[in-house]
Amino acid sequence: MPIRCTFALNNRQTSIFNCPGVGAMQAFSGRDSGRDNPADADKKDLGPIPPGIYYIVDRQSGGRLGALRDLWDAHGYGTTDRRKWFMLWNPKTGDSTIINGARRGSFRLHPMGPLRLSDGCIAVVNPAQFERLATYLRSSAPTLPVPGAGFKAYGTVEVR
């Protein structure tokens, strides 16, 4: 059965990312003054993920150097293993969205890395909790059809 998670932006350093069956965990989205600040959702490289419903799907690796970049991210300094990340897919606009005239995109669900960054992704503060979430999600194949796309999701996250 697909999971239905929630993430409420609250203008604080962390918010609660809650997934029934896994539990609640501290997470954040955005950086500096935009961290968990819904008023800054239209600010690229600062604001959090915009409110809405996103489908949780496996992150795709691509481009000419995608595999090499993934290898570096798995073992390089200041990075986390992006092969374990999830993509947050907007059913209306795909991997990007326009909010107040600003294009935002490439939203991911991942553990907080050593540099403690989020460019609008949802970063779970405790890497062990992210691992537990990822294991739970990947314990069965994705079954939720993503509207307008040819793939399936593990579930959704509603960002409020």
Q: What is the pLDDT of residues 34-74, one digit of tens each?
A: 999 999 999 999 999 999 999 999 987 554 554 555 554 55
For residue 84, give its domain range: 3-59+69-159
CATH number at residue 87: 2.40.440
- What is the Cα gyration radius of the chain? 15
Q: Which of 67, 66, 60 is nearest to 146 (CA)?
A: 60
- Give the total number of structural domains in the chain: 1
The yes-or-no verdict on residue 154 having pLDDT over 70 is yes
The verdict on residue 39 lying in a domain is yes
Q: What is the pLDDT of residues 77-120, one digit of tens each?
A: 545 677 889 999 999 999 999 899 999 999 999 999 877 779 89
Which residues are CB-neighbours of 139 under 8 A, at least 6 positions away? Answer: none
Residue 64 in any domain: the answer is: no
pTM of the model: 0.87
Residue that is written with structure tokens 């374990």 in the block: 84
